[in-house]
């Protein structure tokens, strides 16, 4: 439905009376067709802009909501080395959220606006983060499977037609691959550890496998945005193609780990040269999307609470900045507070340097 609407909008724009519009549309189409990048100051169809904002916001929100299930284990990590790795990972996720909000801001929205929509439940984050982390092994399963699925999804986004998004993904994918290897290594240590540790690892894989497959989104014949996104080269592969690729990657990895995937129907299909696998429970997926997953309420409440309880801190930073206009003495410093709406007034959103 949504894809059809978007299509009609583009066509309407293309067929508009104003010849300047037609020229701009042609230039946009040509850029996309040539695999060149659309940049923030380029003209773009409104539906393209809206679709990117939706996807990039959802992506950014997933990074920051995704901190919660893992942060849940920071204070209980069983060795100092693992604790350091986990802290660094959660910190990276906050950083990814920052890149992605910045990239989304090049489309004329603001981080504040996007966060408000997240808190109001008007924009989504990945369904996977509505599952609980019940044991330490879940940290490994998230690294291996959830980050693995994210990478499979995101590597093609490095070639996305929108420049700022593609560039953000290049940086993010490098760090994600590192996390994924660490998660795999964590599970391997458990799998080869004591019997209790091995069982803990198997239990985590049992619980995270199917939700990870759902991260690729609904099947192609039920995916609202896919066709248009692919035509615009925001997406490069269909949900089902990427899901299949992920399964084919995971099967040998599970074997190397010495852990079973909880799907009796997985088997190599000689004819297709791919693995067959069992049916996904799309009812569960829809329920989680609707807000009825195990942790939806908890995740959103924690995010809202952090934001609300932090309001006085952001107000203080804004009030201080208004009283003391910052001299540009520390250009390289990275830990400045968020520019508040008040202080940002009259300042152009930062442009990508060409």
Partner 1 sequence: MTAALALGDDALVLSHRLGEWAGHAPVLEEEVALANIALDLLGQARVLLSLVGDEDELAYLREERAFRNLQLVEQPNGDFAHTIARQLYFSVYQHVLYGELAAGRGPFADLAAKAVKEVAYHRDHAEHWALRLGDGTAESHERLQAGLDALWRFTGEMFQPIEGVDIDWQALRTSWLGAITDVVERATLTVPTGPRSGAWAAGAGRQGLHTEPFGRMIAEMQHLHRSHPGASW
Residues 157, 158, 162, 165: is their CA dihedral positive or negative? Answer: positive
* Least gap, CB of 107 to partner 1 (angstroms): 19
276 membership: H or E segment, kind and range: strand 274-276
- Which whole-number Å values give the CA distances from 192 to 32, 185, 196, 202, 207, in the listed order? 49, 11, 10, 11, 19
* Least gap, CB of 354 to partner 1 (angstroms): 26
Which residues does 58 contact at the CB level (< 8 Å), separation at least 6?
A: 123, 124, 125, 126
Angle in degrees, CA 255, 241, 180, rounded to 5: 45
Nearer to partner 1, 271 or 309 (CB): 309
25 phi/psi in degrees, rounded to 5: -60, -40
* Least gap, CB of 72 to partner 1 (angstroms): 8
Nearer to partner 1, 157 or 187 (CB): 187
Contact residues for partner 1, defined by CB under 8 A? 64, 67-68, 71, 74-84, 87-88, 90-91, 94-95, 97-98, 101, 136, 186, 189-190, 193-194, 196-197, 302, 305-307, 309-321, 323-324, 334-338
Q: How far apart are CA 56 and CA 114, in angstroms?
A: 10
Q: How far apart are CA 331 and CA 354, in angstroms?
A: 20
CA 180, chain centre distance (Å) = 14
* Least gap, CB of 193 to partner 1 (angstroms): 6
* Least gap, CB of 80 to partner 1 (angstroms): 5
Q: How far apart are CA 299 and CA 88, in angstroms?
A: 21
Nearer to partner 1, 152 or 340 (CB): 340
**3-class SS of residue 267:** strand
Nearer to partner 1, 98 or 280 (CB): 98
Nearer to partner 1, 45 or 164 (CB): 164
* Least gap, CB of 336 to partner 1 (angstroms): 7
Q: How far apart are CA 317 and CA 324, in angstroms?
A: 10
* Least gap, CB of 93 to partner 1 (angstroms): 8
Nearer to partner 1, 194 or 348 (CB): 194
Nearer to partner 1, 274 or 301 (CB): 301
Q: How far apart are CA 44 and CA 220, in angstroms?
A: 26
Nearer to partner 1, 85 or 215 (CB): 85
Got the DSSP string for 197-209? HHHHHHHHHHHHH
Would strands 274-276 and 267-269 be described as parallel, antiparallel, or unpaired?
antiparallel
Nearer to partner 1, 225 or 299 (CB): 299
* Least gap, CB of 28 to partner 1 (angstroms): 32
Q: Under a CB-based contact definition with an 8 Å cutoff, are residues 20 and 43 in contact? A: no
* Least gap, CB of 323 to partner 1 (angstroms): 7
Q: How far apart are CA 68 and CA 74, in angstroms?
A: 10
Which residues does 229 contact at the CB level (< 8 Å), separation at least 6?
A: 51, 55, 235
Q: How far apart are CA 186 and CA 189, in angstroms?
A: 5
């Amino acid at each position: 439905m949504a894809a059809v609407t978007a299509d009609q909008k583009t066509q309407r724009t293309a067929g508009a009376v104003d010849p300047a519009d037609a020229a701009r549309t042609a230039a946009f189409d040509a850029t996309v067709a040539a695999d060149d990048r659309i940049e923030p100051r380029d003209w773009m169809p409104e539906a393209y802009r809206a679709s990117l904002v939706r996807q990039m916001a959802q992506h950014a929100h997933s990074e920051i909501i995704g901190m919660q299930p893992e942060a849940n284990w920071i204070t209980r990590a069983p060795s100092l080395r693992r604790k350091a790795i986990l802290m660094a990972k959660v910190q990276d996720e906050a950083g990814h959220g920052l890149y992605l909000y910045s990239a989304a801001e090049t489309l004329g929205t603001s981080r504040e606006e996007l966060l408000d929509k997240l808190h109001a439940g008007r924009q989504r984050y990945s369904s996977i983060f509505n599952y609980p982390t019940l044991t330490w092994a879940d940290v490994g399963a998230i690294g291996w499977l959830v980050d693995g699925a994210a990478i499979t999804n995101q590597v093609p986004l490095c070639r996305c037609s929108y420049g700022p998004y593609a560039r953000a993904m290049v940086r993010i994918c490098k760090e994600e691959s590192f996390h994924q290897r660490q998660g795999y290594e964590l599970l391997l240590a458990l799998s080869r550890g004591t019997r209790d540790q091995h069982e803990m690892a198997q239990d985590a894989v049992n619980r995270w496998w199917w939700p990870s497959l759902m991260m690729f989104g609904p099947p192609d014949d039920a995916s609202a945005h896919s066709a248009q996104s692919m035509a615009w080269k925001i997406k490069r592969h269909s949900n089902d193609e990427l899901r299949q690729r992920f399964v084919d990657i995971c099967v040998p990895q599970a074997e190397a780990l010495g852990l079973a995937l909880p799907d009796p129907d997985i088997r190599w299909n000689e004819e297709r040269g791919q693995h067959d696998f069992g049916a996904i429970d799309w009812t569960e997926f829809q329920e989680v999307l609707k807000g009825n997953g195990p942790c939806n309420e908890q995740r959103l409440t924690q995010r809202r609470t952090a934001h609300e309880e932090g309001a006085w801190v952001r107000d203080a930073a804004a009030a201080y900045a208004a009283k003391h206009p910052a001299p540009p003495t520390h250009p390289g410093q990275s830990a400045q507070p968020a520019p508040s709406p008040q202080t940002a007034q009259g300042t152009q959103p930062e442009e990508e340097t060409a």
